Amino acid sequence: MQDRKEEPLLRAEGLEKQYKAGGGPFSGKSGRIKAVDGVSFSLRKGETLGLVGESGCGKSTLGRLLAGLEKPDAGSVWYEGKNLTAMGREEKRGVRTKIQMVFQDSYSSLNPRKRIFDILAEPMLYHGLADKKNIREETGRLMDMVGLPRGALERYPRQFSGGQRQRIGIAKALSLRPELLICDEPVSALDVSIQAQILNLFRELQEKLGLTCIFIGHGLGAVDYVSHRIAVMYLGKIVEIGDSRQIFEHPVHPYTRALLAAVPVADPRKRKRSQPLLEGEAEGRHL
Ligand SMILES: Nc1ncnc2c1ncn2[C@@H]1O[C@H](COP(=O)(O)OP(=O)(O)OP(=O)(O)O)[C@@H](O)[C@H]1O
Ligand SMILES: [Mg+2]
């Protein structure tokens, strides 16, 4: 709305991030590892980019750089035309609420001693997104959005199943009304049938809220289900990026071909995004 027509919501330019290698006798010669090695791409508002690649190729590191949780060694991240990398603390804080992350292990991001109500309410009150009068209703709305009963607000994180906890993790991310959601393998730890329900929830939320997302995963199947475009990462670089049709029909990189071989659908071109691939609903509704 407020952004200029052609300006992407997010733009990465030549991002690089190195870490010290583990230090064992078999670690890299230089003693450093390039976790992210020259990544550039842009993301339109409302678009979901799927990010796939083998373990250790740099997906999570890239996610953290984009969310502003870590500083790149080189390159920059542009959010609504502003250089996030060059921003001062104050300015960054304003943007940071607009970018939220959902993690694989939502349990570790939920304080076990707090009720779900407090977990959701405290940041909303702190950032002035709700007040004492409407906080009950606002937290209730979040529960509705992620398919959990409002009564669940009174419970503690340990009283939920993995799938339900992931719904709470998503509610927590949504509580600050983000524009961009970076989801780092949000379904990888879940049972397959629960994965399907959470993926459906993501699609619902994309449509309802017009969210822009980066969706990190291992398998192409799940990632393709929620993504408009897919980027394949290999050894810190994006080796392919395009819509799924392009990737499925003309995989360029050998790693992409290996990923495709693992997709459990005979002809992915026959799938339509509008058709639900996955059935099943609201595992979390019945506590
Ligand atoms: N904080 C860190 N300190 C040192 N090395 C790190 C750190 N974070 C990541 N690395 C290294 O950077 C590389 C990329 O890691 P990253 O976690 O981004 O991969 P990934 O693609 O998310 O893997 P996975 O699919 O297993 O989650 C790996 O070699 C990893 O060991
Ligand atoms: Mg990771």
Q: 125-156 pLDDT, tens per residue?
A: 999 999 999 999 999 999 999 999 999 999 99
Instruction: Calculate how far, in angstroms, residue 230's C-alpha sits from the geometric centre of ligand 1.
Output: 20
> pLDDT tens digits, residue range 48-59?
999 999 899 999
CB of 66 within 8 A of CB of 99? yes
pLDDT band at 272 (very low <50, low <70, confident <90, very high): very low
Distance CA 61, CA 72 (A): 10
**SS3 category, 78:** strand
User: Cβ atoms within 10 A of the Cβ of 253, count?
Assistant: 17
At 5 the pLDDT is 59
The secondary element (H helix, E strand) that includes residue 219 is none
Per-residue pLDDT, 273? 46
For the residues of 179-209, what is the DSSP string, one character each?
SEEEEESTTTTS-HHHHHHHHHHHHHHHHHH
3-state helix, strand, coil in the chain (%, to 5): 40, 20, 40
Binned at pLDDT 50, 70 and 90, residue 222 comes out as confident
pLDDT in tens, 174-202: 999 999 999 999 998 888 889 999 999 99
User: Which residues have a Cβ under 8 Å from the Cβ of 159 and sit 6 or more positions away?
Assistant: none
Is the CB of 19 inside a 6 Å radius of any atom of ligand 1?
A: yes
Domains of the chain by range and CATH?
1-95+180-186+212-287 (3.40.50.300), 99-177 (no CATH)
Instruction: Determine the straight-line distance between the first and last CA of the chain, rounded to whole angstroms.
Output: 39
Q: Which residue has the higher pLDDT, 218 or 135?
A: 135
Q: How many angstroms separate the CA atoms of 251 and 244, rounded?
A: 10
Please tell me the residue having the least CA distance from ligand 1 atom 30. Answer: 56
Global pTM reads 0.87
Under DSSP, the state recorded for 25 is T
Q: Which of 16, 59, 64 to mutate to test the pocket of ligand 1 (most atoms within 8 A of CB)?
A: 59
* Count of other CB atoms within 10 angstroms of residue 114: 14
Strands (E), the chain: 10-20, 32-43, 48-52, 74-79, 82-83, 99-102, 180-184, 212-217, 229-234, 237-243
Ligand 1 touching residue 196 (CB < 6 A): no
Q: How far is CA 80 from CA 98, 228, 239, in A?
A: 11, 20, 25
Q: pLDDT tens for residues 72-84?
A: 999 999 999 999 9
Counting residues of the chain whose pLDDT is more than 70, the rounded percentage is 86
Q: What is the pLDDT of residue 260?
A: 83
172 versus 88: which is more confidently predicted?
172
